[in-house]
């Protein structure tokens, strides 16, 4: 992956969204983030149901931008199975 591209828009998300960064490094300016390969960021949104949360996440991911950004188009299309819980 090409690296060193400035990342913009992190911190502009709404209260129901969090952005987790991974493939980043600090830039020369205070608070500046640069791409550093791999998965740069993960955007997580919460909503009253899965379709709403997915729609919000895709809207919020548009606020984060950098050169050569790629967004997976299949997130939330196949929900994880419900897990059974057990009591002690």
Tell me if 29 sits within 8 A of 51, measured CB to CB: no
pLDDT for the residue numbered 86: 67
pLDDT for the residue numbered 84: 73
Q: How confident is the prediction for the chain on average, in pLDDT?
A: 90
Tens-place pLDDT, residues 30-69: 999 999 988 999 999 999 998 999 999 999 999 999 999 9
Q: What is the DSSP secondary structure assignment for residue 50, as one 8-state letter?
A: H
Domains of the chain, each with CATH number or no CATH: 1-68 (3.90.600.10)
With 0-12 / 13-18 / 19 or more C-beta atoms within 10 angstroms meaning exposed / middle / buried, residue 45 is buried
Q: Give the whole-number percent of the chain exceeding pLDDT 90.
A: 73
Tell me if 11 sits within 8 A of 44, measured CB to CB: no
């Amino acid at each position: 992956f090409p690296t060193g591209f400035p990342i913009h828009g992190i911190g502009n998300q709404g209260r129901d969204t969090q952005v987790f960064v991974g493939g980043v490094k600090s830039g020369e300016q205070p608070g500046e983030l640069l791409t550093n390969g791999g998965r740069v960021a993960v955007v997580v949104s919460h909503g009253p149901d899965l379709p709403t949360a997915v729609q919000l996440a895709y809207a919020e991911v548009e606020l984060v931008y950098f050169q050569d950004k790629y967004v997976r188009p299949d997130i939330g299309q196949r929900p994880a199975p419900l897990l059974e819980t057990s009591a002690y």
